[in-house]
Each structure stands twice: as C-alpha cells, then as structure tokens.
Copies of this chain bind each other. A is one copy, B any other.
C-alpha cells in the first residue's frame, strides 16, 4: 500500500519514443519478463498500451540491482529513470528504440505464477481462460477487443446523440414479455407469489416512449433470454436499441446507414458506400436460400421445379408434386476443387439440414458426370444445365424436397459451405444489405398455428393489410433486417400505432381478448391516447463487435461471459443460497442439481 506521490506516472509505457530520450520519467505496470544477464538486467514492463524496456546495469546501485533481480513475471511495479537509446534496438516493438535506465524502483504487488502465460492468442482451453478471466483479460488481444468495443459504443452514442436521439433507461425488473423465448424471473419479496421478469428487449417501453412524444430514443440495453445456449448466444446480451416517430422505413434505414458508415470508417478505416442494397425477403430466399445472404460471392439458387416436375426421376418429380421444389446452385469454375469424395461429404452436410440427399453434375474436361442424368431425358439434362448456366469447369448441386424450407435451408447453407471450403470470403470486404418485406406470419409446426415472424407489434405492409386475417401466408410486414456478410446485425420494423390494428394483429395470432388484456393491456390501452406512427430497430452489439474484430466467439467480445450452461466460471455462479433468503422471497426449491452440491 502506498500513496504513490513519488511515482506519479508520466505516461503509459507504450507512449514513449526516441523523442523522450534524456527525460526522467515514471512508469507503472506489470513485469512481462525479467532477463538477468549477470551484470545486466532487463525488465519488460507492460501496461494497457504496450511494453517498455527497463534497464539495470553496472552503474545501478547494488540494492536497486538486487531488487530488480528479485522481480518475477506479473509483479506490479513502479519505476523512475532516464529514457535513453537502446544498444540493440527492437524494430518489432513501438518502443523498441529506447529503454529506461532505472534510478528508483518500487514493488507494488507480488504475483504468484499465473496458470498460463500472458501473451497474445493464447491456446489455453476456454474453461481455464474463463476461470481466470481476470488474467485472460490481460492478454493484448483481449485488451484490444474490449477497448475496441468501448470505441464502437462511444461512436454509437455520439452519432445518435448528434441525430437528436435521447438515451433513456428502461427497467430491468419488469413484466414478462412475449418475444417467444423463456424469461428469467425474479421473485418479489414484497409481493409473495409474484415475480418480475428480466426484459428480453425494451420493445414495449420504447414504443411507450414514442407515445410519450420523445420522438427519437436509443439505449445500449441489456437483454435476457433463458434459452439453451448455442455457441453464439449468451443468457444476457447487449442490444443497440432504437425507436423513432413520424419516419418511414427509408428514413429510418438512412439514419442507420449513417451510423454504420461512421463506425466502420472510424474504427476500421473502411469506407462503406451508402445507400445499402435492399432486397425483399422473397428474393433473398429465391436467390440465396437465406434471409441473411452473404453477397460477397455468387453460387445463386435457381429453381428447376418446372423442368423436372414430370421427369422420370422420382426424387425430383415427387418433391415438386408434393408441394415443394427442386433447386440448384452452380459452384461455377470449381468442379476441380470438388472431387467425388468432397461431393459425398457435401451430401452428408445437406442432410444435417433435413435434406434427403444431394444430386450433382460435374462438368470437367468437356465431360459431364452426374448423379442423376441417367434418370432423365437428354433434353431434361440439357435444360437443367442451361438453367444453371453451367459451362465446363462448373459444379452443379441440386436439392429437392416436398418442403421449400428444407430446400432453402440446405442450399443456403451449402452455398456458404462451398465458399468456406474454397476460402473465397474476403474478411476485409463488407457487404451490407437491407432485407425487407418479411412475411408477417410464419407457420409453426410445433404449435399448429401462425406466429408473428418479427413480433406482434409489427405493422403489415399497406397493400397487405387486408390479408392479415384472410391470407396470412402472403401477408407481408413492414419489417427489415440489416445483414452484413451473411450475419444479421439487427432487425426492426414499422410498428402498429392504432388500437384497432393492434387488436387485429393479436386476433390474427389467435390471442384471446382476455390474454390481450392480461399480457398487453398496458400497451393496447396506451394506444388509445394517440400513438404516433413509429418504428425502430435493434442491433446485436456483441455480434457487431465480433464482426468488426474478427472474433470467432461471442465470449471473446464480452469482458465476463458465461459458458454454454449459463454459469460464470470465475464467480462460480449461479450458486446455492441461504434458506432464509428463499423464505424471505416466499419460494422453495423443488429440485436440486444432481452434481455434488456445495451446500453451506
């Protein structure tokens, strides 16, 4: 413990250069390593800006030299000394031309040997990294990522502030929302038997703020979903949440384009062109088999249902007759990159998307080999290749199914898989796209009814309003997603702003009047008092940061993430609690985890 008056830091380690030679400076940080060459000791001192070499030599007083000799990795020290030119310069290091001839040294804290070395791109396994997250975060790449996240968020706040948005905080202790996922619940002590829910998004609050006349709202909002975690999900995640009044889709999208342009410019130095391309959902599905197409490459889908619906190949004909389709992609110019074995593996790949199999035609050296041609007529075969635009050197991959969704899912994923295997995706290319005109409803096999594709507050397209109750399959919503390189960065919509239309939307979803009042009463009632036309958007901040930093896991862009089973390995939580706490909350545990519980 020390008041540090004497060692007030001149500046961070990484900021010194040859221009500082001759100056007396004070620096603080962690010992990256200490090299004792007998009559010379070098210490690499690390702080959040980089490394700086400290030097001790013949002319160093004995006790100071011994102090330096006692330093170990990760010790925390403060040092004072003279900046001088190095004898052997290190061109790899920004401070590699200089070193500090130390005249005073203070040991601020010792350190045990860490469980892994504090270096860039550690290959330590995740469980260890996360248990010792405070050490993992010392690594330069993690430091850079967290600093970059700060910068992205700062630019976001600056931009929206400059554009008249007010940041308004909405509650975390709130009511169950209908986003479809499971809620995290918080038992109320004051109201036994009642619960708060953590918000899945501030959706209803932000709409109420529009009704209040705030006109432009934004918030970097924490959201919660108690879902089974996939690799790119966290139980709590952060959303850039926006809502605007009196604007239409195009105006809302233009504001967002300005934001993305700025953040890519200022953070990555990448010039993004605006306006972004726009594509109706239908077109995205037809051409790319995906509502978030990666536009950095071709291999577009073509429908050949009309060509094969009466053909002799049952797999094709039955798919079409069963109400589905047969479609293909042409991996043009890459037949030679996919020998039979690789094609077989692609066949396995599409099966994970429920496709029953993969048909293919390979055009190489003037010959066509194919898995299906023997079942078809020459004309049919030729028509398919013509539709594919196939020429020598191309590979045509075909999927048919009685369900269109399966065809799209399989070919959409296959298209990406081929691109990945071919390594043709340029990580420095950023292709933004607005996907628009989403379906208002989607059929849920599980529930046996139509559900809201976006959420029940989304407005239908003007020309489709009549279809809300009568032709749900073809009713389109004023919803839009912003997609970057095949990733959905965010999505939003124009909202319903009259109680009549909102009631109709609930009706279309089969929600009873009673349920409406119970679950959405506050919102429907509020809409009676004059709701402006409004719409908004929410970005997944974690995903945006991932894309901008090139991180491969969402865990790498969050300071203190949770693992797949939603636990925090560093804090050891969730954890058991005292009986008294539960009793105060009027709840009891009905089941305990099977692992040996750490009861107090």
Closest residue of chain B to A569, judged by CB? B522
Contact: B593 with A194, CB < 8 Å? yes
* Interface check A511, CB cutoff 8 A: no
CA distance A365 to B598 in the complex (A): 76
Which residues does chain B contribute within 8 Å of A195, judged by CB atoms?
574-577
**14 A–B contact pairs at CB < 8 A?**
A4-B247, A28-B245, A30-B213, A74-B530, A146-B214, A147-B166, A149-B168, A150-B161, A175-B571, A184-B186, A185-B186, A186-B198, A192-B589, A587-B588
Which residues does chain B contribute within 8 Å of A222, judged by CB atoms?
169, 172, 222
Binds B, one of A97-105, A293-301, A556-564: A556-564
Contact: A238 with B169, CB < 8 Å? yes
Contact: A1 with B191, CB < 8 Å? no
Q: Given A184-B186, A185-B581, A586-B589: A76 and B522 within 8 A (CB)?
A: no
Contact: B215 with A518, CB < 8 Å? no
Contact: A558 with B169, CB < 8 Å? yes
Nearest CB of chain B from residue A240's CB, rounded to whole Å: 13
Nearest CB of chain B from residue A46's CB, rounded to whole Å: 7
Binds B, one of A86-94, A106-114, A479-487: A106-114
Contact: B1 with A138, CB < 8 Å? no
Nearest CB of chain B from residue A281's CB, rounded to whole Å: 18
Q: Given A166-B146, A185-B187, A248-B4: A193 and B597 within 8 A (CB)?
A: yes
Contact: A215 with B562, CB < 8 Å? no
CA distance A591 to B562 in the complex (A): 33
Stoichiometry, as copies per complex, reads 2
Contact: A76 with B530, CB < 8 Å? yes
Which residues does chain B contribute within 8 Å of A518, judged by CB atoms?
600
CA distance A9 to B590 in the complex (A): 58
Option from B9, B132, B138, B168 in Cβ contact (under 8 Å) with A150 = B168
Option from B3, B47, B528 in Cβ contact (under 8 Å) with A462 = B3
Which residues does chain B contribute within 8 Å of A587, judged by CB atoms?
187, 587-590
Starting from the known contacts A154-B161, A194-B575, A196-B574, 18 additional A-B residue pairs (CB-CB under 8 Å) come to A1-B459, A1-B494, A1-B498, A4-B248, A134-B209, A135-B212, A143-B213, A150-B161, A150-B167, A175-B571, A175-B573, A183-B581, A187-B587, A191-B593, A194-B573, A205-B559, A209-B559, A518-B600
Interface size on A, residues (CB 8 A): 137
* Interface check A375, CB cutoff 8 A: no
Contact: B5 with A248, CB < 8 Å? yes
* Interface check A397, CB cutoff 8 A: no
Contacts of A522-537 to chain B: CB distance below 8 A: 522, 526-533
CA distance A576 to B597 in the complex (A): 30
Contact: A528 with B566, CB < 8 Å? no
* Interface check A279, CB cutoff 8 A: no
Nearest CB of chain B from residue A128's CB, rounded to whole Å: 14
Which residues does chain B contribute within 8 Å of A47, judged by CB atoms?
213, 215
Option from B1, B112, B173, B246 in Cβ contact (under 8 Å) with A497 = B1
Nearest CB of chain B from residue A271's CB, rounded to whole Å: 24
Contact: A573 with B196, CB < 8 Å? yes
Interface centre among A108, A194, A236, A583 (most CB of B within 10 A): A194
CA distance A29 to B12 in the complex (A): 52
Which residues does chain B contribute within 8 Å of A189, judged by CB atoms?
182, 226
Contacts of A191-210 to chain B: CB distance below 8 A: 191-198, 205, 208-209
Interface centre among A169, A565, A584 (most CB of B within 10 A): A169
Option from B108, B135, B501, B590 in Cβ contact (under 8 Å) with A586 = B590
* Interface check A585, CB cutoff 8 A: yes
Nearest CB of chain B from residue A324's CB, rounded to whole Å: 35
Contacts of A116-168 to chain B: CB distance below 8 A: 132-135, 137-138, 143, 146-147, 149-150, 153-154, 157, 161, 166-168
* Interface check A354, CB cutoff 8 A: no
